[in-house]
Structure 1
């Protein structure tokens, strides 16, 4: 149950970013379904509700299997640290984007799907919100 509470923070980030407005990645007229990541054995569910993310996953993101899980975990760990530092500095960074801290624990194996979608969400957010989370993998490289 603790895992569910911890990972629901990621869900809230999706909701908060969804409420931030539109961008060039949100040029669709039909309503987009949220991206759901769930694992019953670890008792967690993540729902990403950010307009344009589903289209990003289907058309821009590299296919599943392109990156190995350890690479995705390393990128996610680094980006979560940057994200959380920005969350802790709302006067310096847009508090409407970094509204919640992400509790991503490196000692937990979240599996490939979670890491793949979280990695791609970070790429998507960097492009949509014109931010750079660091690590040499800039959003403008994904096109």
Structure 2
């Protein structure tokens, strides 16, 4: 089951690379970051998140709140709601762009994915919402 999460996230991020949308970040700096790949692994729990998205590395290093700013509990709560809303959008391809919302994310709130995985997942949602001008019911902030 945990491998499904990795495969989905990898597929989502690879597919997202070709998508276009309203960009709110400096386009000249994002254009130079086309080969961004962020990999964080929690080897003790065997969970990892791989994000392949142009500009995401720049976003994490420049615009995102630093590690430790949010508590793990805060990130887990936000991710639970964001993943739920994201999955609802995946199930409604006639309402939401199916090129942005490809596959459901298998995120189990009862599993401790660790701080880094939750931090990156939350910040991917922040990046995704700003990069593609998507609004979630749970606010995502820079």
TM-score bracket for this pair, using the shorter chain length: 0.7 to 0.9
How far apart, in 2, do the equivalents of 1:62 and 1:127 lie?
A: 15
Of structures 1 and 2, the one scoring higher in RCO (CA 8 A, sep 6+) is: 2
Alignment of 1:1-143 (within 5 A): 2-21=1-20, 24=23, 25=25, 26-27=27-28, 28-135=31-138, 137-138=139-140, 141-142=141-142
1:21-66 deviation per Cα after TM superposition (whole angstroms, max 9, x unaligned)? 3653343335433111212233333211111111100000000000
Following superposition, the deviation at residue 67 of structure 1 comes to 0.4
Deviation at 1:11, TM superposition (A): 1.8
Mapped to 1, the partners of 2:45 and 2:3 lie a distance apart of 8
Q: Which runs of 4+ in 1 moved over 4 A?
A: none
Partner deviation per Cα, 1:100-120 (whole Å, 9 max, x = no partner): 110000110000000001010
Output the CA distance in 1 between the equivalents of 2:101 and 2:123.
17
Which deviates more, 96-105 or 10-19? 10-19
Partner secondary structure for residue 14 of structure 2: helix
The separation in 2 between residues aligned to 1:124 and 1:100, in whole angstroms, is: 18
- Offset, 1:7: 3.0
Q: Deviations over 1:117-136 (max 9, x none)?
A: 1010000000001011112x
Give the number of aligned pairs: 138
Structure-1-length-normalised TM-score: 0.87
Q: What is the distance in 2 between the residues matched to 1:108 and 1:130?
A: 30
CA RMSD of aligned residues (A): 1.7
Which piece of structure 1 moves more, 80-89 or 41-50?
Answer: 41-50
Gaps of 5+ in 1: none
